[in-house]
Amino acid sequence: MKESGMVVKTPAGTLSLISSPEQIGNVEGKTGRAVRSDCESGAIPTLPRTGGDGGHWRIPTAKYLDQLGVPYEIVPAEEALST
């Protein structure tokens, strides 16, 4: 199956444009729980959560990587898969 869309490519790997706490934790070397705590405190920029009790934190990846000073580029998904 062919991937479509854009992704965020970092030296450590590829992330989606909107990441979960677990995905961001992999970049930072933190647990998903620690990242969720940072979201709750406002230390990590987030998008509105989805409705219901089980709504997940949604983190705009590029904005957060800017905050961390991590270099990245936004590329088509198929380009990220071919390198």
pLDDT in the model for residue 11: 87
Q: pLDDT for 44-76, tens place per residue? A: 989 887 766 666 789 999 999 999 899 999 999
| Position 1 pLDDT exceeds 60 | no
Alpha helices (H) in the chain, listed in sequence order: 21-28, 32-41, 61-68, 77-82
Picking from 73, 61, 59, 80, the residue whose alpha carbon sits closest to that of residue 10 is 73
Provide the residue count of the chain: 83
Q: pLDDT for 20-33, tens place per residue? A: 999 988 888 899 89
What tokens does 46 get?
């987030």
Domains of the chain in sequence order: 17-70 (1.10.10.10)
What tokens does 29 get?
């070397």
pLDDT in the model for residue 26: 85
pTM for the whole structure: 0.79
Q: Taking a C-beta distance cutoff of 8 angstroms, is the pair 71, 61 a contact?
A: no
